[in-house]
Amino acid sequence: MSKKSILTTVGVLVFLILGFTSMYVVKEGEYKVVLKFGEAVRVVEDPGLHFKIPFIESVSKLPKYQMMYRSQQTQILTKDKKPILVDNYTVWRIDDPEKFLKTAKTVSAGVKRIDETVYNTVRAKLPAINYENIISENTERGNINDEITREVAATLSGDNYGIEVIDVRIKRTDLPDANKESVYNRMISERQSIAARYLSEGDEESKKVTSKADRQATELLAQAEADAKKIIAEGEQQAAKIYNESYGKDPEFYSFYRTLQSYVTTLNNEPVILMPIDSPYTRILLGQ
């Protein structure tokens, strides 16, 4: 084989090697960070074929998608002195690959930093809250999760780790086996005490309402009776006035009318009455 052929072959091989070492592929869901002598010079996010300077530049791959890290279970003492085992998870992503490479360098190191921050934040928050508020799904639990997420995100952002914390959630809060029965019994006792207090307060309030209603009913009845007596008296007074005015206009007719009324009363049930035939009462009765 001639020297020229050898040189040509070597040249082709060198060209192919340079060509292959200068190319790299970016896939969906990943960053490719181009490093020059160990320093990041650019970040490539667009999927496809890209080029770098062979032997001078190297490429490091970082995930672009969201990742979830589940923290190790840890024991914490709540505000009301109940020991609990807390299990939480963190959803995060790399939002600045250059910063991430300068600080954490690897995903495992980034996860370790997240774990430390979440651990410190959870241990600072939960001891200031009662156990029953921590386990409440619809009230305190949501507020705690939001507060922890904000504080963890702020801490990592301040440290320039290039990490975006999307969510930190308390997945589970369990009591240690040795404490479950005593804690449950204490909670039952507390609930029974609260129920007894509510029943006592309700009974006392019921008595107050009933007493007030009875007093108001008595007052209303007394007022109604007084008003009725007043109305009756006014009616009788008005009737007497009308009678007097009527009687004064024709005394003879009034006397005759009163006599007729006495007949109705006297002759009721058809009694036997003995009267002188010539008495005025008899004459009027006989129509004379």
Give 193-222 pLDDT, tens digit per residue. 888 888 888 888 988 898 888 899 889 998
What is the pLDDT averaged over residues 57-86? 83
Residues 6+ apart with CB under 8 A from 85: 73, 74, 75, 172, 173, 174, 175, 176
Query: In whole angstroms, how far apart are CA 259 and each of 195, 226, 265, 268, 279?
Result: 78, 36, 10, 14, 13
Residues 6+ apart with CB under 8 A from 153: 164, 165
Place of tokens 């490539």: 44
**DSSP label of 47:** -
**DSSP label of 246:** H
Residue, of 29 and 123, whose pLDDT is higher: 123
pLDDT on residue 29: 76
Contact in structure between 95 and 163 (CB atoms under 8 Å)? yes
Contact in structure between 84 and 180 (CB atoms under 8 Å)? no
Q: How far apart are CA 72 and CA 280, in angstroms?
A: 123
Give yes or no for residue 63 having a pLDDT over 70. Answer: yes
Q: pLDDT tens digits, residue range 134-159? A: 766 444 555 788 888 999 999 988 88
Q: Which domains does the chain have, with CATH numbers?
A: 3-63 (no CATH), 67-181 (3.30.479.30), 243-286 (no CATH)
Element (H, E) at 239: helix 177-249
Q: How far apart are CA 168 and CA 170, in angstroms?
A: 7
pLDDT on residue 188: 80
**DSSP label of 124:** H
Contact in structure between 107 and 63 (CB atoms under 8 Å)? yes
Average pLDDT, the chain: 78
CA triple 261-265-268, angle to 5 deg: 130
Q: How far apart are CA 95 and CA 150, in angstroms?
A: 16
pLDDT on residue 164: 92
What is the pLDDT averaged over residues 233-262? 76
